[in-house]
A and B are shown apart, each in its own frame.
Chain A
Amino acid sequence: MRSRLPVLRQRKRYMALEIESEEPVSEKDLAQEIHSAQAALFGDLGTSRNRLSLICFNGRFGLLRCNYLCISETRAVLATIRAIASTRAAIRIKGTSGTIRAATEKYIPQLSLIGAEKDGRRIELEEVSGCIAHIRGSEIDLIPDDRYRKGSDTRYLGLTSFDLGGCDDADGTADGLR
């Protein structure tokens, strides 16, 4: 393709994302879900005005390229994503920047591949019982014994160490990344 004049080139923004999901998701599934959500919300015309492209994804953090005039639209598209390849997930936007380098340095932590700790222990409380699936800092995902709950496409119950009488220093930054 012939290169366009620099003055006619569309300016871009790079959005740093964090994926919160019940199971690991692949880059291909994430890109597919973003495009399908955009097509569903804005149609073909809206998609052509704001070509989204997933630059990289390491399993938890990723970079998404969008048009610099369509940041709000892109946020809305990402907010409407509820599941990626049938796995419940939510996309958190860490920030937006003008270059890949700035977005990576500002918003994507170097130790970003610290995975969730796998666990097999059980929790037996009066109201809730089940096996621990993951622990991230003070957040605990629990596989409940009664799985068939109303409207339950969510697989895990979310608890914290404070529910189990844990430590007092909760500040929401227990994974040490922010």
Chain B
Amino acid sequence: MTFYECGLHSLPEGFDSPSRLALAAKRLGYDGIIICNHSGQENLFLPEACRNINEIEIAFGIEVMASNPRSLSSRVSSARGRYPFLAVHGGTDEINRAACESADVDVLLHPTESRRGLSTVAAKSAQRNQVAIGFDLGPMIRLRGTARSRWLETLGRDLSLARKFNLGMMITTGPWSHLDMRGPREIMAMAEMAGFEPDEIRDGLALPARILELNRKNWKGPGVELL
């Protein structure tokens, strides 16, 4: 089994340097991490220090954040060539839908941030454009009481939509520091409580590795690879 944590934020946005996150992930049993700072904060603090850390793959991606669909599409197209992993920070209906309609997007993170969650139209577009849905379990750790039960309800709705349209699922805890990181088995336990099936969880933790591998190939067009 391969385990990847894909929604990490490091300095200057988060609280830890990339090498500290890599050390913590290695100790927790991950095979790789993808550090995805939000757009505007993508100049990482000393990323070259990660070269000293062996036996774990460290990749750098981006989580594009935009206030409207037009700026989202321009930011996505400018970032696509520079990063092997491109996520979009969802939330509102318009952003969720615009992200799902773009074939350049690898994953839509936090679609459940608004109480409405993912719409059927967005889910259909995500299926057509092979955009995965990133489920952030961070609120399960941070929230308590009514807020958490409301979040779990929205998550359940998005999960059933993702199953219906056979969308790729990715699971993360969206850590901002090493104290926010959880090991793969802890994530499995939490996701199981939240309503995921065991094979969905395993696929969700392995999907970032497959996306990275695909994006690193030299594609000349849809379905045409230069060997």
A contact set with B: CB distance below 8 Å: 20-22, 40-41, 72-73, 75-76, 78-82, 88-90, 92-93, 127-128, 138-140, 149, 151-152, 154, 156-160, 162-163, 168, 170-172, 178
How many residue pairs link A and B with beta carbons under 8 A? The number is 114
Choose from A40, A75, A139, A178 the contact partner of B23 (Cβ within 8 Å): A139
Question: Contact: A170 with B23, CB < 8 Å?
Answer: yes
Give the Cβ gap from B194 to chain A, nearest Cβ, in Å: 9
Given contacts A82-B141, A163-B46, contact A171 B183 (CB under 8 A): no
Nearest-neighbor residue (CB-CB) of B16 within chain A: A158
Residues from chain A with a CB closer than 8 A to the CB of B122 are none
Residues from chain B with a CB closer than 8 A to the CB of A157 are 11, 15-17
- Cα-based distance from A154 to B15 in the complex (angstroms): 8
B contact set with A: CB distance below 8 Å: 11-12, 15-17, 19-21, 23-24, 26-28, 45-46, 49-50, 52-55, 140-142, 144-145, 148, 176-183, 185-190, 192-193
Residues from chain A with a CB closer than 8 A to the CB of B193 are 41, 72-73, 76
Mostly, the B contact residues are helix
Residues from chain A with a CB closer than 8 A to the CB of B140 are 80
Residues from chain A with a CB closer than 8 A to the CB of B21 are 158
Give the Cβ gap from B11 to chain A, nearest Cβ, in Å: 7
Besides A75-B185, A90-B182, A160-B49, 15 more A-B contacts (Cβ < 8 Å) are A72-B192, A76-B192, A79-B141, A80-B141, A82-B141, A89-B179, A90-B179, A127-B45, A128-B45, A160-B19, A162-B49, A162-B52, A163-B46, A170-B19, A172-B53
Question: Contact: A172 with B23, CB < 8 Å?
Answer: yes
Question: Contact: B189 with A75, CB < 8 Å?
Answer: yes
Residues from chain B with a CB closer than 8 A to the CB of A75 are 185-186, 188-190
